[in-house]
Structure 1
Amino acid sequence: MNALQVNNLSVAYEEKIVLKDVSLTVPVGRLTGIIGPNGAGKSTLIKAILNQLPNKKGSIHILERALNPKNLTVGYVPQRNAVDWDFPTNALDVVLMGRYGHIGMIKKPSSKDKQIAMDCLKNVGMEAFADKSIGQLSGGQQQRVFLARALAQQADVYFMDEPFVGVDAATERTIIAILKDLKSQGKSVFVVHHDLQTAPEYFDWIVLLNQSIIASGPTEQTFTKDNLQDAYGGKLFFMDQRGD
């Protein structure tokens, strides 16, 4: 089974083409990095897959099915700058939002839901901050809370838009450890990522994007100098040894 299949996807903002004829297939159980230069359409690709953009053409299937708003198989972590951090709520309530797909918007979370949310906070090292307002948390702590919210969804496929941006080294290590654990459970994880140095270490599948697909496949086959030069317009400089 494929975790994701995209066929001939195109997206435009007004008259500007952002994605053009994007097609890719990613099997289940991969930890996938979506990589490309600024303006390549990486975040747009995630939003289009999640049906958040009206002006798109093409077909998208997740686990062989079109995305349904009631589908519980998909979790999402947006970019931090897309979140209103002044919203008056605490960390536990944010994570409980990940349970709404299971309990509904009008029902109160059960003790089981609250325990799942606390377990997810503990998983990201944030259980001590459950009652803390999200606006009082650091950037790394906020990112951990939103990761916990995604985990609370208990999804099969996760999409994460630059989860490592603005976090400290300890938080980055925590996040990648959790993502690799999800993969070990057979989950599929898609991550918009910008750091080329860590990409081969973090991901076992790479999608190189620059409005169109440059390459997609296992990291050892896809993450090559030639493909990277094609994706970044020949503007990359490679250092084989430090100081050379």
Structure 2
Amino acid sequence: MEALVVQNLSVAYDKKTVLESASVSVPTGHLAAIIGPNGAGKSTFLKAVLNQLPNKVGNVAILGKAFSPKSLQVGYVPQRNAVDWDFPTTAIDVVLMGRYGHRGLFKRPTKNDRALAMEALSSVGMQDFADRSIGQLSGGQQQRVFLARALAQNAEIYFLDEPFAGVDAATEKTIIDILKNLKAQGKSIFVVHHDLQTVKEYFDYTILLNKTILAAGKTEEVFTPDKLQQTYGGKLFIMEAM
């Protein structure tokens, strides 16, 4: 079974096409980067895949099925700027949201739910901040909490929108170590990523996107100077490390 199959996915805002006829098929068990220049439609692609945009056309299958927001198999970590950090809730309550699908929205969390939530917080080094308001956390701490929420869900496939943006080096290492561990468990992970210098180190699969998907495959085959120049419109300075 493929982790993700996208066929002719297009999105337009105010009659302006943001994503056009994007198609890709990705096997399960990969840690995949979605990369491309600013304004290329990377976040739009992720939201369209997760059926968050009404103005889209095309077909998407996640683990062989059309996506449902109630799916327990799919975990999502949005960009930090998409979250209301002034909402009066604690870190542990945010992580417990990852358990809603297992028990129902209006049922009280069980002891097992709380134990799993604390385990998820511990895995991202945030167990000592369980009762802290999310608005009092640093950017990196907030990102760790939202990753913990996805982990508490115990999904099979994860989508993360720029999880390393605005975090410190320690948080970035924590996050990538967790993602690599998920991959080792056979999970599938898709990450919108902007730092080209870490692509080869972090990801075994790469999707190149600029308004449409230009290439996708194993990182060593796709992350090449020629394909990057094509994706970034010739405006890319290729580091020697590549």
Normalised by the length of structure 2, the TM-score is 0.98
Aligned: 1:86 with 2:82: no
- Separation of aligned partners in 1, 2:125 and 2:237: 38
Aligned: 1:25 with 2:25: yes
Aligned: 1:153 with 2:181: no
Alignment correspondent of 2:57: 57
- Separation of aligned partners in 2, 1:64 and 1:22: 18
- Matched residue pairs, number? 241
Alignment correspondent of 2:193: 193
Alignment correspondent of 1:137: 137
Alignment correspondent of 1:234: 234
Structure 1 residue 214, shift from structure 2 partner: 1.2
Gapped regions of structure 1 (runs ≥ 5): none
SS of the aligned residue for 2:214 comes to strand
Alignment correspondent of 1:164: 164
Matches within 5 A, 1:118-133: 118-133=118-133
- Separation of aligned partners in 1, 2:230 and 2:119: 43
Structure 1 residue 71, shift from structure 2 partner: 1.5
Aligned: 1:97 with 2:109: no
Structure 1 residue 14, shift from structure 2 partner: 1.4
Of stretches 61-70 and 206-215 in structure 1, the one that deviates more from structure 2 is 61-70
SS of the aligned residue for 1:70 comes to coil
- Separation of aligned partners in 2, 1:231 and 1:7: 20
Structure 1 residue 238, shift from structure 2 partner: 2.1
Matched AA of 2:143: Q
Structure 1 residue 68, shift from structure 2 partner: 1.9
SS of the aligned residue for 2:54 comes to coil
Structure 1 residue 142, shift from structure 2 partner: 0.3
- Separation of aligned partners in 2, 1:51 and 1:238: 35
Gapped regions of structure 2 (runs ≥ 5): none
Q: Structure 1, residues 102-151: CA drift from partner, whole Å, max 9, x if none?
A: 11111000000000000000000000000000000000000000000000
Question: What is the aligned-residue identity percentage?
Answer: 68
Of stretches 66-75 and 83-92 in structure 1, the one that deviates more from structure 2 is 66-75
- Separation of aligned partners in 1, 2:21 and 2:237: 29
Structure 1 residue 70, shift from structure 2 partner: 2.3
Alignment correspondent of 1:175: 175
